[in-house]
Amino acid sequence: MTMNTAREEMLGKVRSALKRTADSDVAAIPATARIAPRRAGNIEAELSAFFGEVEKLGGKTRRITELADLHEALKELVKVGVTLVEPLGKVVKVIGEAT
């Protein structure tokens, strides 16, 4: 069975399940799927909303406004990740440190 034949066979099964043929027209987009894109708000409101959604899922957020603070934040993030991984019996090897 060639790949093209396998592809056609699979598409045939999908079409059959959808009660369509290879010659069927493309279905129109339902009116319920026509949603206008959301306009972005100001950056502070967008970040606040994003952080809120992450926190609802149990995530931790922190806004870093200075580039100098980024290195320290990344070190903390890796340290937390290592702390979470080690109890699972995983071996973590840190190669060097950024200067």
Q: Name every residue whose Cβ is closer than 8 Å to that of residue 62 and which is 6 or more positions away in sequence.
A: 73
d(CA 25, CA 48): 44
- Bigger pLDDT: 46 vs 91: 46
Residue 63 banded pLDDT, cuts 50, 70, 90: confident
| Distance between CA atoms of residues 61 and 50, nearest Å | 9
pLDDT at 60: 84
Please state the rounded mean pLDDT for residues 67-91: 68
